[in-house]
Structure formats: C-alpha cells, structure tokens
Structure 1
Amino acid sequence: MQRWHHGLFVVLLLWGTPQASLHAEEIRYRVDIEAPDSLDSLLRKHLDIVKALDNPRLNRNEWLRLLGEAEQDAQSILATEGYFSPQIDIETDQQDTLSHASFKVEPGPQTRVAEVEIEFTGAIHLEDEHSRVNKLKENWALQAGAPFSQDNWGKAKRTLLSDLIAYRYPEAHILRSEARIQRERNQVKLRIEIDSGPVYRFGTTRIEGVQRYDAAIIERLNPIKPGDIYDQNSLLRLQTLILESGYYQSVEVSADTENGPVDAAPVIVKVSERKASTLSTGAGLSTNTGARVQLNYEDLDVFGLDWRFVGSFKVEQLAQSLNGQLQRPQTENGFRDSLSSTVGRTAIEGQTTTIFNNSLKRAWGPRRFEQFVGTGILFEQVDLDGAESSNKQVATVSYGITLRRVDNELSPNRGYLLNAQVAAAPLDSLSDGKFVQTYIKGQAYWPLAERTQLITRLEIGAVNGGNAPATYLFRAGGDQSVRGYAFQSLGNREGDAIAGARYLLTGSAELVQWLTREWGGAVFVDFGNAADTIKTLKPVYAYGLGVRWKSPAGPIGADIAYGQDTGEFRLHFNLGVSF
C-alpha cells in the first residue's frame, strides 16, 4: 500500500477493534488520515467511517458502505470550513484479518469573503438610526477578505442579531440570509436581511419573591423608569445592584416583551432572599500578614428596619481586629449610609499600632463613578522598638472618588481604575495637630495582542501639616505595593523600627502572557518607597516572575520577586482586583 510524506501534513492513526468482529470474523478496521494540522482533528471528529471504529457491531458490509460514502462525507466536512475544491485520495487494503483505509487530503485554497450586503428593515430606519446601522455594519465579523467557514458565518449572524436584541429591538429577527459560493474564484458573497421590529419601552416594575425584606429596598435601587427605551444593559445593571445590596442570594431581572405592550413592557424582578442572620468562620494565609482565622456575623434586619449589620473578628500573625459596620438601605436619592467601628492592633517591622476608630460615611453614585464623604474620630497608640512611644487623637473629614472604566470588573482586560481620597484634621480643638492627607492610586489594563496584556499601576500619597498619626502616614512593600520587599518594610527608620513617612510613591509594569483562557505567566518590574521629603524619596526596585489564574472569584497570582536593594527573593500571593 502506498504511503505519503509531506512536511505540512501530520498522520493521524486511528484503530478500531470491534469485539463482535474479532469473535466472528477476526477482522480489525483501521483508518489513516493525512491532512493539515488545522483539519485533521475536524475530520477525525466528524467522519462517519472514523466514528464507526468505536461501534462493536461494525462488520465488513457496513465498512464497505462507509467507504463508498467517505469521499462525499469528507467533502461536506471540509466545506464547512470553506474548502470547496479539495483533492481527496482514498486507498484501501482488504485482507483476511484487516480492513484498512488511507486518506490523503489536499484541501486546496480556503474560500474568502468577496462581498457583504447587510440590509435592515423595521423601526431602526423609522427612528433615524443611521449611525447605529453604520456601526453594526462596521462591527460585522466577516468583512471582505476574511476566510469563510460555516461556523464563522453562523457566529457573525448571531452576534449581529444579539446586538440589536440587546439594544431597543428585542423582537429583531433575520428575514433571510444567503452565502453564494463562487467555487472557481474561491470566493463567497454574503447577504443578510434583518427586521429590527418595533422599539420597545419599559413599563412598571413587578417584584416577586419578597418575604422578609421590604420591596422598597429594590424599588430604591431601580434606575429604570416607565417610558425608558428598552436596553438589556439596564436590566443587567438592575440585577447587579440588587445582588450587591446583600439581601438576596439570587436575582433574575427580565422584561415581558411577549405579553406586554410595546410602549410599556413590564419589568419583572424575581428574587430569592438570604437568611436574616448568618454566622461563618474562615481561615487563610497572606504573605503580608501571615496565617489568619476569622469569625463573621451578619444580620440583615437590625431593629426590624432592614438595616444591615456586618461584624468580623480576625486574628492574623501580624494583625488582629474587631470590626462592626451598620449599613442603612439605599435611600430614594441614592445615598448609602454606614456607621463603622474598629478596634485593631498591628505589629509590623518594629512598629506596634493599637487603634480605636469610629467613622460615619455616606456614599453615592454608580460603580463607574462612586463618591463618598465621611467623618471619623481616631484614638491611636504607637510603640516603636528602640524609640519613643506616642498617643494621638484626631477627628477627620474625608472625601473620595472611584472611577471604574474596565470591560470586566472581576477580570479586566482593557480599561482603567482610579481611586482618589483626601482626609483632613481641620480643628486643633479636636485633634493633636492639623494635617491633610492626599492619596491617589491608578491601575490600567492594555491588551497588546489576543493573549498578551500589559498592566500598569501608580500610587502616590502625601501628608501635609503637623502632627499626623501613624495611621495616616505611609509605608511601602508587600503584595500590592513593591514586591520583593517585606510588607511595610519601606519607610522611615526610627530606632529599630520602620515607621510611617509623609510621602509615598510606588508603581509597577507587568506583562502577562495568557497560555490558555485561564492560565498565564507574568514578568514584572516594581518600584517605590516612602520618605519624609520628596528629595529623599528614592525608589527601590524589584523584578520578578509570576503565574496567573482566572478563577471564578477573580484573578489569583503567585509571584517570585527579587529585591534589588536587599538581594533577596520573596514569594507573594494576591487575589482579585483591589479597587
């Protein structure tokens, strides 16, 4: 039997040993396939004669029938990938105990898109949506010159239709579609006609599943007003807001476009409520503060007013804390009010800090542009190894903003995050000295290629004024700061301790190469330091390698970093996006 050898081809060897045939006719069946890498798995998966090898009832008559149909079968499979003029040679070898078929496939040139014609009818024209139509055409996936396949053709149509359904036109549908193949030119002309249907508007909202908690919690979160134009993003946004409130374990938000009127489609919210109170425990490990155990308590109906209380007791090797926060449901004006109290102790780099802090905070705005104002009073005791201890009291007011402009908050690929805060102790009568603290942190995500991503980070802090407490000063180093250096090991040296400083500057540039959809490798450079003057703020550097995993909870990373100034390697772990 003849064999072929070519550098562009791989050989796929498939064996079938049906038990029935061995016992009855003692015949083995075998198929060899030579085809380009991109097509050999396709043929292996879909060729009927290959699939029959796993059938224990395969016999000689069935084998001969499949052989007779094999060429047409292979042509049909290759046509789905745009190969309409393949050369398929099949050689057979029939022996007493072996039936063997050998396929050699020369697929020929792949068909490419020569012309695309997309037509729209329906309200999309009546609503003067010419810019929308142009954008849909520009985003069409199979532009002229692109390789054609049935799979890509189907995906392009589904994407186009999904874009219309998600935006204003939930009844959009394809009237007709056609792919005209020109075999002699290896070209295809595509034509698709879509009826957008009418423009839908939202009606009133109906809430189902409410038992423990007041439906007003959902009503105050709802940004959708009767008469608003239908948009799936609005429904998804409402679903997210309800889940983030913390009162519900599952939420489903939809619009009844089938039974409701076009100009008032009801919005239906179905919820499953969480238990009123829960108690949980946990354990973990941080390369910053060591091993930890934690006890959490949550009550979602404090005073019978649907106020939410969240408390936690956390013990770590380097830090211990007792926290409690009372949160009021969002008001009709969109304000989110909370009252917090914290007792904590940290012992890091020779500085032991004990605090008692109470704060009142009001936040508002969507996650894309979130703001807050707050006020608080802090009592602090600091003990430094080899230096004097101190006790301070400050009353502060604060303001902050957070901008989120990323394509996916859980695992961003493109966009940026920015957080800016200012805190001030303006009155000598309430504080041991006046000061202003300013802090800015930004992180940007840049897709350089399909699986290559650049992540940059910059962090700046400054304290101006008098006797600021250690809680408002800066130290650097650790997992989310300058990797390669111990947690908060960069700052002012006082006695045998590293104390906080007035100025902070850290940054990072990280290149991530995703090897699969979930796993990737990273190389990075970190820099930064903390000092009492800008002149003495000299950054130190670190270099490292890491592994990344896109887990369901967000990106998880493990890094090995080398600190240039210390000459030491350190291991770091990080979870999620810290904004």
Structure 2
Amino acid sequence: MNLCGMDGTCHGRSRRAPVAKMQISAAAHRQLQFCMPAHVAILIALLLWTTDAAFAAPLRYRLEVVAPDALKGTVSRSLDLVRWENYEEMTPELLDRLVLEAREQARQIAATEGYFEPKIDIDVDRNLEPALVRITIDPGVPTRISRVDLTLQGSVAEDPTRLEQRLAPLREQWSLRIGEVFRQVEWTDAKATMLKSFAAKDYAAATIASSKATIDPDAHSAVLEVTLESGPAFRFGETHVTGLELYRPEIVLNLNTITPGEPFAQQELDQLQRRLSATGYFASVQTGIDIDPARAAATPITIAVIEAPPRRLELGGGYSTDTTYNLTFRYSDVNANGNGLQWVTNVRIAGNTQTGSLLFNLPPRAEGYLDTLSGTIDRSDIQNLVIHAAAAGVRRRTIDERDVHSYEASFHYADQSPQGADGSAAHALYLEYRRTLRRVDAPLSPTRGYVASVGVGGGVPGASTAGFGRVIAQFAYFQPLSVANALELRAEGGAVMVDHPFNVPADLMFRTGGDTTVRGYAFQSLGVKDGQAIVGGRYYGVASAEFIHWVNATWGVAAFVDAGNAANSLSSLDPAVGYGLGARIRTPIGPLRFDVAYGQRTGGVRVHMSVGVTF
C-alpha cells in the first residue's frame, strides 16, 4: 500500500443524504373530504396526524468511541457522525448511512496515526433513548519508519561539497526518526520544515520536487523519501521602501545592514524587520524579496511600513519579585523635530526605588551608528543602603545587534548612606568601550549558540573623585540536548581597580543576588557588609547552570543551580549557592520564568519571576 503524492494526505468522504417526505396537496385533501364518508375521512385525518407526529420526533443518538488515547480524540472530533449528531431531521436511513461511512473514516484516521490494519466494530443500540452508537477500534501494530531518504537536486547539486554542506543539517534537523511511529500530520510538518529551513538561505525559490511515504502493511514499516528542487542561488539587490509619509527614506535605509550582492538569507530580513519595528517609528513592518528565479542575481528587497503615531503616553503597573510592585509613567515623541529625533521621558516607582530618565535618540546615521543622549536621577533603599544618584552621558553604538560596538562617555554622581556606618559620596567622568557578540538562533528566545560581552572603561583622573579602571565580562551558552531537552550556562564577572571603593560612584560598583543573578537570595543582597547594609564591592562573579525539559511547544520545567557574590578582594569572594526548580513558558518577548529557589547560605526559600534573556 502506497501513500504517494506531494502532500501525502489521506482524504475522508462526507455525504449528505436527502430526507424524503410525502406531501398531499390542499386540493387533493379537499377532494378526499368531499368524496369519502365521514368516518373514513376521520380515520385518514388521524393517520395523517400520526404521520406528522412521527416526523416531528426525529431520531436521536449519541456517539461513544472506545479506542486508545492516541486515536480516541481524533476519531471523536473527525467522524461525520459527530457533525450530524444534533441534526433535527435525522432518520433511521440516514443514521445507517453515517454508520456505514464511519467505518471507512475511522480506518483512514487510524492510518494517519500510523495504524494501517485496525479492527473496527460498530454497534448501534436503538433500544436506548437516545440511541447509542459505539465504535470500538483495535489499532493493531503501529507502522514505524524504517528508512528516510532526503535528497537535493538543481543548482545546489552542481558542487558536491556544497551539496553535502546543505544536506547534512537537513538530515540532522529531520524530525521523523527511524523507529518512530509514522503519523500523517508529523510527515506533513516535517516536509514543510525541511523546505522552510533549506529555502531560508541562498535558495529562496526552492520547492518540493517529490515526496513519497511507502507503507508495507506486512512489515508494518514506512519508507520516507523527499527531494527538494533548489532552483538558482539568490543574491540581494537594491532596497525599496513604501508607506513613508512623516519620515525620509534614509531613516529606514540607514538601518539596513544588507548590501547589494550579498547572498540571500532570511535571517537578515527577519533581523531588519525586528530592528525597524523596535525603533518606535512604525506600527507595522514587512520585509521580503521577489522570488522570481529570473531575478535571482539581484532580487530587490521590499520594505513596507505603516507609520505609528509619533506621540505616545503610557501608564503601567506591575510586580517583580526583586522590587515588588511598580508604577511606570512614560511619554515619548519619536518625531520631536520633524526629522526623526526621539524624545523619551520615563518615571518609574518600584518598591524602594524611584527613577526618572530623559533620553534623546538621534536618527540613524548613514555611517551605521545610533547615538543617544541620556540623563538619569535615581533614589534607592535596598538592603539598608540608601543611594541618591545622578548620571548624564552620550552613547554611540553600531546598528547590527549581532555584533555591537558601543562607546560611552558619562558623568556619574552618587551619595550612599549605609545603615549603621558612615556615608560617602563620589563622582566620576566615566569612559567605556563595550563589544557584544550574539551568535544565537533566535535573539529573543535563543535555544542554540552563545552571547558574549566585554566592557572596558575607567574614571578619568582629575575629573573623578579618584582615577580607576573597570572591566566586566558576560557569557551565556545555549545548547539543545534533544528535541525536548536543553542546557543553558551563564557566567559573568567584573572588577574595579581602585585604592578605596568609596571613591567610585555606587552605580559603578557591584552587588548581586535576585531573579536574574543568584536565585535563592534577595535582590542585591550579596556584596560587602558595611554596618547593617550591603554595599557594592570591587569584584563580583556569578555562574549558573540550568537544565530545561519542554513538556510541549509552550510549557517546560527547569532545574538550576546558581553561585555568586561580590567582595572587595578576590580572596574574600566566597560564592553563595542557590538551587531549585522552575516553570518555563515561551512568549513572544522571550521565556517567562517562575522559579522556587533555596539559598544554601541563608537556609531560606524564595520565589523568583523574570522574562527575556539575561543580557
């Protein structure tokens, strides 16, 4: 038995049987009345009334499916018997026809789940009210995949080395493994995923040339064969923008890092779309290319935008296990000068922290930079340490989020008052260079790859309370272990090179602990003890390992262990350990985490919630 064709689907049948009724015209009825004796007319009228009453009481039935869970749900939803169950004019003849067709429909459904020789019994008990239709399915031995043949043809096959380079990841990512039960839905999804993955790089016009699933009922085996036609290799051409009214095309074009002649990659278009959407200029952004093979040498990029209202006022509230309840006020004007200058004012009250900020984001530059001017004032009372701080500065960064170079010059002032100890104040003219590499499969919800960041900076002598150097490094690694299991590793550390820690503004020193650092401990509770307060140290280090098992495409469970601390010397950097279990939910803005952690040092249990990637 072969299931062949481009889609390899099984099709069921659905028939609607007409219900016949006998009607007597009004004229004929009057003729009967006039030509028959009275008692005969009364008898006929009684019979007609009885017949009408029979039509007014249609046959009722209910369906019961007895089958393994793998089949029961699908059968119960898919049979025509289900769709006709509440039909008001059901007749015994129509029910018989539905029962007859249900046997073949159930057989086809079983085949889509990998059972090609099921035993199906259907029993109708009309003595019950409503009548009972019971379908019993013994699926038999499932059909398992015995061989998978994936091949490529077309221009990609002209170079044997390139052919193998493109075919190897397709084989690795193929979801239907040898020994697994053959299921129609998974077969269809696997082919679509293979085509999408292959067409995402170079070969945008690729198609499925042929696909076949050959079933051997005697051996209960399936041989799967898929061949993709690559078509020509595509390269990017010129960029065309539509939908602009308020802004010059340069605002869009300066954010595009794709150069004409570059090999096609869907990832580049997706990255461009996310970058444009994040600017605040647009309510909608769509990117694409022309997949006409005749234009493969220089396929034009199309960017269609819908502009967002420039001015926006936002009021919000929320809850964080680090800072408890919070309230946010935000006003923005993304076209303050009529030329794309963005002005953003933000006020946030979160537990014992109050922050106000003002940002000016300049339009993107043709040289590939984004410039920001910012000012911030902040008051916090965390771990018995009250800090009043202010900062103002300018920052320039490159546009491509996968390889960011940033340059910052800022002035910082902070006054800290630890409970039970002397207060201090410090200021600094701070200069920093930072580079961040993102080599992940998905920026917001990575499952494979790494993120690395290194920042080097310092306080300028003469313009700071004391000259100092500062370095910070962060690293995160994501590795899938199987389809359902994944491993995440994280490490970060930093150092401030200065004679006395109180000569550096508090916001440039280090404390740790909380939702995204060392779980099992309160927010910024790990650091240097000063009186009854925890103050920032000159050194810090954090490491974390997390194992995640995904129950389905959305929900997962995690086990983790964290360790970290901050101190004024490397010799006193004694890591505090926390470990626990948590739940994971995939969301459009990144993974949502709900964790319960035990702090080994404190002996306490804490609940932590966070969302998105750590850095």
Q: Specify the TM-score bucket, using the shorter chain as the normaliser.
A: 0.7 to 0.9
* Pairwise CA distance, 1:23: 7.9
**Contact 2:370–2:399 (CA<8 Å) still a contact in 1?**
no
Alignment deviations for residues 439-478 of structure 1 (CA, whole Å, 9 cap, x no partner): 2233333444544444333332222222333222222222
Deviation at 1:250, TM superposition (A): 1.0
Q: CA 1:204–1:387 in 2, change beyond 3 Å: closer, same or farther? A: same
Q: 1:197 corresponds to which residue?
A: 231
Relative to structure 1, the CA distance from residue 100 to residue 364 in structure 2 (aligned partners, 3 Å threshold; closer, same or farther) is same
Q: In the alignment, what sits opposite 1:36?
A: 68
User: Residue 96 of structure 2: SS of its match in structure 1?
Assistant: helix
Structure 2: tracts of 5 or more residues without a match: 1-51
RMSD: 2.9
- Pair 146,542 (structure 1): closer, same or farther in 2 beyond 3 Å: closer
| Cα 1:543–1:94 shift into 2, 3 Å | same
One-letter amino acid matched to 1:382: Q
Counterpart residue number, 1:160: 194
Q: Deviations over 1:5-53 (max 9, x none)?
A: xxxxxxxxxxxxxxx9998557542444332221222222223334432
Of 138, 148, 151, 2:182 maps to: 148
Matches within 5 A, 1:32-431: 32-95=64-127, 99-126=131-158, 129-132=162-165, 134-135=167-168, 136-137=170-171, 139-142=173-176, 144-258=178-292, 261-364=295-398, 366-427=400-461, 429-431=462-464
Query: What's the counterpart of residue 529 of structure 2?
Result: 493
The reply to whether residue 564 of structure 1 matches residue 600 of structure 2 is yes
Change in 2 beyond 3 A, CA 1:255/1:108? same
Shift of 1:249: 1.8
Between Structure 1 and Structure 2, which shows a larger proportion of helix residues? 2
Is the partner of 2:421 in helix, strand or coil?
Answer: coil
CA drift of 1:214 comes to 1.5
The one-letter code of the counterpart of 2:569 is T
Do the aligned partners of 1:173 and 1:196 also contact (CA within 8 Å) in 2?
yes
Question: What is the 5 A alignment of 1:427-576?
Answer: 427=461, 429-466=462-499, 467-576=503-612
Q: Which stretch has the larger CA shift, 198-207 or 448-457?
A: 448-457
Q: Percent identity?
A: 34
Q: Distance in 2 between matches of 1:514 and 1:141?
A: 16
Distance in 1, matches of 2:102 and 2:339, equals 72
- Structure-2 change in CA distance of 1:73 and 1:471 (3 Å): closer
What letter corresponds to residue 482 of structure 1 in structure 2?
Answer: V
Give the 3-state SS of the residue equivalent to 1:301 in structure 2: coil
Q: Tell me by how many angstroms 1:574 deviates.
A: 2.0
Give yes or no for contact 1:416–1:442 (8 Å, CA) kept in 2: yes
1:263 aligned counterpart, secondary structure? helix
Gaps of 5+ in 1: 1-19
C-alpha deviation, 1:251, in angstroms: 0.4
For 2:177 and 2:282, the matched residues in 1 are separated by: 44
Q: Which amino acid aligns with 2:217?
A: R
Of the structure 1 ranges 388-397 and 453-462, higher mean CA displacement relative to structure 2 is found in 453-462
Counterpart AA for 2:585: W
Most deviating of 238-247 and 259-268: 259-268
* Amino acid in structure 2 at the alignment position of 1:460: G
The structure whose Rg is larger is: 2
Secondary structure in 1 aligned to 2:411? strand
Contact 1:435–1:465 under 8 Å retained in 2? yes
User: Aligned partners of 1:251 and 1:312: how far apart in 2?
Assistant: 26
Structure 1 stretch displaced more, 255-264 or 406-415 = 255-264
Partner Cα distance (1:254, 1:350) in 2: 54
| C-alpha separation in 1, matches of 2:270 and 2:53 | 57
Using the alignment, how far apart are the partners of 1:545 and 1:282 within structure 2? 30
Report how many residues are paired.
559
Q: 1:22 and 1:387 mapped to 2: Cα distance?
A: 95
Flag the 1:454–1:166 CA change in 2: closer, same or farther, 3 A. Answer: closer
Alpha-carbon distance in 2 for matches of 1:153, 1:568 = 49
Cα gap change, 1:536/1:195 in structure 2, threshold over 3 Å: closer, same or farther?
Answer: closer
Contact 2:419 / 2:531 at 8 angstroms: preserved in 1?
A: yes
What is the rounded CA distance, in whole Å, between the counterparts of 1:549 and 1:257 in structure 2?
36
Change beyond 3 A, Cα 1:109–1:434:
same
SS at match of 1:103: strand
State whether residues 21 and 57 of structure 1, in contact with CA within 8 Å, keep that contact through their aligned partners in structure 2. no
Asked whether the 8 Å contact 1:21–1:58 carries over to 2, the reply is no
In the TM superposition, residue 100 of structure 1 has moved relative to its aligned partner by 3.9
SS in 1 for 2:84: helix
Stretches (4+) displaced over 6 A: 20-23
Find the residue that maps to 2:89 and give its secondary structure.
coil
Report how far residue 209 of structure 1 moved: 0.8
Alignment partner, residue 31 of structure 2: none
Deviates more, 1:177-186 or 1:234-243: 177-186
- In the TM superposition, residue 141 of structure 1 has moved relative to its aligned partner by 4.2
Per-residue deviation, residues 211-257 of structure 1 (Å, max 9, x unmatched): 11121011112223333333322222221222233321210111123
Q: Distance in 1 between matches of 2:166 and 2:536?
A: 57
- Change beyond 3 A, Cα 1:219–1:71: same
**Residue in 2 that maps onto 1:7:** none
Q: Is the 8 A contact 2:125 2:131 kept in 1?
A: yes
- Normalising by structure 2, report the TM-score: 0.82
Equivalent pair of 1:27/1:96 in contact (CA under 8 Å): no
1:336 Cα deviation (Å)? 1.7
Name the residue aligned to 1:5: none
Deviation digits for residues 159-210 of structure 1, max 9, x if unmatched? Answer: 3332343333333333443333332232334444443333333332111011
Gap change, CA 1:448 and 1:120, over 3 Å in 2: closer
